[in-house]
Amino acid sequence: MKNIFGIVGSFRKGSLNGMLMAAIKERAEAKGLQLEIADFKDVPLFNQDLLANYPTAVTVVKNKIKSADAVIIATPEYNRSVPGVLKNLIDWTSRPKDDNVWNGKLVATVGATNGITGTIAAQYVLKQSLLCMNVRVVGNPEFYLGMAQEKFDENGTLIDEITKKKIDELLSTLATSRIL
């Protein structure tokens, strides 16, 4: 397992989930893994009518999911669920049904909040969708980062040793998972 694709469900500057994914990327690369972070700001709102004229912005992301050995999704929690931009991307990339790039893909979910629950609710909602797309969801270790604003310095660098260890644990789980 060498090549990871990272998806962050927040577009905002200073996103805690963006900082978390950047830290995961840095630690992955230190272990000789590659991690590319998705850019999907140009993906339009899903409309089944557009499937006939499939948007290039989605094709680009689909191809990256297809060629990745594993995907890590960092989701914020919005109203105890996943942000619309992330669900929109998942819906797009799961269609057309005979080109479901998620089928059999190894996927780990992580998430950061500024409250204490660390995206537990959002990740459970996310995992429900992933399971029905036949994703191989990493059930353990679970990764919930609460009070995330305290875990990064003013430059967005991860300063929390426990979180660093959790990232390493997740990366080794991915790296040792067999790709069938």
Identified binder of ligand FMN from the candidate list 4, 7, 16, 73, rule CB under 6 A = 16
Query: Per CB under 6 A, which of residues 50..89 are in contact with ligand FMN?
Result: 76-80
Question: Closest CB to ligand FMN among 71 and 101?
Answer: 71
CB 151, min distance to ligand FMN, A = 12
Question: How far apart are alpha carbons 75 and 21 in whole angstroms?
Answer: 10
Selection from 148, 99, 140 nearest residue 123 by Cα: 140
DSSP assignment string, 58-113: HHHHHHHHHH-SEEEEE---BTTB--HHHHHHHHHHT-SGGG-TTTT-EEEEEEE-
Question: Is the CB of residue 123 less than 8 Å from the CB of residue 137?
Answer: no
Q: How many residues bind ligand FMN (CB under 6 A)?
A: 15
**Which of 17, 88, 93, 123 is in the footprint of ligand FMN by CB under 6 A?**
17
Binding to ligand FMN by residue 124, rule CB under 6 A?
no
Binding site for ligand FMN (CB under 6 A): 10, 12, 15-18, 76-80, 113-115, 117
